[in-house]
Structure 1
Amino acid sequence: MLPTDSKKALSFKRCIEDGDLVIVYERHDVMKPVKVTKDGVLQNRFGFYKHSDWIGKPLGAKVFSNKGKFVYLLAPTPELWTLVLSHRTQILYIADISFVVMYLEVVPGCVVLESGTGSGSLSTSLARAVAPTGHVYSFDFHEQRAVCAREDFEKTGVCSLVTVEVRDIQGQGFPEKLEGLADSVFLDLPQPWLAVPSAAKMLKEDGVLCSFSPCIEQVQRTCEVLRSDFIEIRTFEVLLRTYEVKEMKVETGAVIGENHDEKENGGQRPSKRKHVSNEDDYAVSHDNNSSTAATSVVMARPCSEARGHTGYLTFARLQCLS
């Protein structure tokens, strides 16, 4: 059995034990979750690694293969889990998740309702945010997805903080037993406006609701319904631009005399930077007649596969009647 003690599992200040889940990190875009077993072996392009060599090492340790190559063993934090989990549905990524946790005002001890569970990306971050005394109640109409989500929460050590139930929130609403107990509610549904009246009953006074929708038409219909019981209605679109940073070899031309060179080049100022090694967007022109010397520089560019629009986040606060 994997550890279910939430305080232990969420602290990550411990050594790796038999049965633990670790994230094997090769590079920023190559990672995988691995369950540690005494007789287990991990094989990848760098060779093979015995799990028995991992046991007793602290999380974050560098471990070596039979070929002398290494990987890092990292804790399954919500941030890393979002990058390696199995996609049963489209998921929320870190930019949206951090925004949701902040604007839902989720702190330790909070009770949060979520529908639907999906792949559990947001649920894992919510669980850490409410730990150690709060709780997340997550609902999904699809039974198999709910089963898989429970298994994932067991692996990541947050199962004591998350309860997953099979329920059609759009058609049935949230369970009456939770009425007036929720500090915040998160909706990720095709027709979130159908669940808004039920969500209002679940929230405590001054509680906050968030609805995630990929289409602006969904946002418009949801906002129309929110106006009945909610105030401070706001919609955001979070766009993240990631940069790729590399160290490159650059050849710089010797500048003999600025005025002389301007005459030689028809009045144009000479360019000191002549060439960057042949890597697509990093390349610049090269003058074979120039006197050059190689030097290393750090260069950055936006990642070619950066994610654009994911969805719209609509937040609203329950209106106090008193």
Structure 2
Amino acid sequence: MFPTDSTNKLSFNRKISDGDLVIVYEKHDNMKAVKVCEKSILENRFGVFKHSDWIGKPYGCKVTSHKGGFVYLLAPTPELWTLVLSHRTQILYIADISFVIMYLELVPGCVVLESGTGSGSLTTSLARAVAPTGHVYTFDFHEPRAVAAREDFEKTGVCSLVTVGVRDIQGEGFPKDLIGVADAVFLDLPQPWLAIPSAGEMLKPDGVLCSFSPCIEQVQRSSETLASKFTDIRTFEVLLRTYEVREVKMDQCQTEEATPGSHRSCKRKLRASEASLWQQDNSGSPIVMARPISEAKGHTGYLTFARLKCVE
């Protein structure tokens, strides 16, 4: 996410170095995280790529193999890291993450508490939001998972911004030495209402809490607990719909629809209801069209936000 120098401090040198983590982009649904090692190679369907050829090149560059295939070498941003990380638990994705960061009102210098860490998808985005002077304290009750997350944060270069702890927040609450230091608290727990009293102690006056829950029953019980010390309690469900944009010849597509077994670029059939959305160019010249992708992601969870009441 953030390239680091030899002292593990944040660096904004955009050149790839030996030991850096890069995201190898083959196509939009096929990417992988690779640690650069001068003597290593990457072998895939596009050919063989020597890591030594990557060193010194800028992030975002296109590199070719010995047989002419190519890939792109991208910087491990939080958005890309979310798409390639190892799933130790169910993770939050971009739509929920961006909403959380906005409603927690995070800016550089903020202190955030998180439980649980899980696969670290949200944690990396929280770290970037509060960098370079803020900090994220994240906790998970499962020690092997916490250890794996800490290793990932070292890979992505945010270890100086993130402290990983092993702790059962539902049963023990947050550490007492963090009382009153947090600008925001994020909970991703089976029983968040058990951790809400402790989270309230950690927050600064007017601090914001967010709880992520997949079931509405969890939201209802959490909201009941929040009502005693929090105000402005609101719950959201973020649903994302993606559109496909491409250039086609309408008459060509319609002709190919009538040809059984056609596998050309317009092989996806336009249903009559979809075709009516587009203005046909009778000349058959290419036009740009957009339509929703049918496999839209549905419910992921509910996001409940609340603001700590100020005590006069």
Calculate the TM-score normalised by the size of structure 1. Answer: 0.87
The alpha-carbon deviation at position 280 of structure 1 amounts to: 2.9
The alpha-carbon deviation at position 282 of structure 1 amounts to: 3.0
For 1:318 and 1:28, the matched residues in 2 are separated by: 41
Residues 97-152 of structure 1: per-residue CA shift (max 9 Å, x gap):
00000100111111100000000000000000111111000000000100100010
Query: Is the contact between residue 39 and residue 51 of structure 2 (CA under 8 Å) also seen in structure 1?
Result: yes
The aligned counterpart of 2:255 is: 275
The aligned counterpart of 1:121 is: 121
For 1:274 and 1:119, the matched residues in 2 are separated by: 45
Query: Is the contact between residue 6 and residue 161 of structure 1 (CA under 8 Å) also seen in structure 2?
Result: no
The alpha-carbon deviation at position 69 of structure 1 amounts to: 1.4
2:8 pairs with 1:5? yes
Amino acid corresponding to residue 101 of structure 1 in structure 2: I
Query: Is the contact between residue 248 and residue 276 of structure 1 (CA under 8 Å) also seen in structure 2?
Result: no
Secondary structure of 1:281's counterpart equals: coil
Amino acid corresponding to residue 5 of structure 1 in structure 2: N
For 2:51 and 2:254, the matched residues in 1 are separated by: 49
Query: Is the contact between residue 25 and residue 72 of structure 1 (CA under 8 Å) also seen in structure 2?
Result: yes
Unaligned 5+ residue runs, structure 2? 276-281
Query: Is the contact between residue 276 and residue 282 of structure 1 (CA under 8 Å) also seen in structure 2?
Result: no
The alpha-carbon deviation at position 73 of structure 1 amounts to: 0.4
Q: Structure 1: which 4+ aligned runs deviate by more than 6 Å?
A: none
Q: How many residues align?
A: 293
The aligned counterpart of 1:316 is: 306
For 1:219 and 1:234, the matched residues in 2 are separated by: 10
Amino acid corresponding to residue 301 of structure 2 in structure 1: G
For 1:312 and 1:281, the matched residues in 2 are separated by: 35
Alignment of 1:109-258 (within 5 A): 109-251=109-251
Using the aligned pairs only, state the percent identity: 73
The aligned counterpart of 1:265 is: none
For 1:166 and 1:87, the matched residues in 2 are separated by: 19
Calculate the TM-score normalised by the size of structure 2. Answer: 0.89
Residues 278-303 of structure 1: per-residue CA shift (max 9 Å, x gap):
52333669xxxxxx864323232222
Residues 150-177 of structure 1: per-residue CA shift (max 9 Å, x gap):
0100000000100000000000000001
Secondary structure of 2:76's counterpart equals: coil
For 2:49 and 2:270, the matched residues in 1 are separated by: 36
The alpha-carbon deviation at position 2 of structure 1 amounts to: 7.0
For 1:232 and 1:283, the matched residues in 2 are separated by: 45
Amino acid corresponding to residue 308 of structure 1 in structure 2: G
For 1:299 and 1:6, the matched residues in 2 are separated by: 46
Query: Is the contact between residue 64 and residue 71 of structure 1 (CA under 8 Å) also seen in structure 2?
Result: yes
2:21 pairs with 1:21? yes
Amino acid corresponding to residue 275 of structure 1 in structure 2: T
The alpha-carbon deviation at position 214 of structure 1 amounts to: 0.4
The alpha-carbon deviation at position 70 of structure 1 amounts to: 1.0
Alignment of 1:28-39 (within 5 A): 28-39=28-39
RMSD: 1.9
Secondary structure of 1:295's counterpart equals: coil
1:307 to 252, 275, 297: 297
- Higher Rg: 1
Secondary structure of 2:127's counterpart equals: helix
Give the direction of change, closer, same or farther, for the CA distance of 1:304–1:45 in structure 2 (3 Å limit).
farther
Q: Which moved more, 1:240-249 or 1:211-220?
A: 240-249
Query: Is the contact between residue 116 and residue 141 of structure 2 (CA under 8 Å) also seen in structure 1?
Result: yes
The alpha-carbon deviation at position 306 of structure 1 amounts to: 2.2
Alignment of 1:36-115 (within 5 A): 36-115=36-115
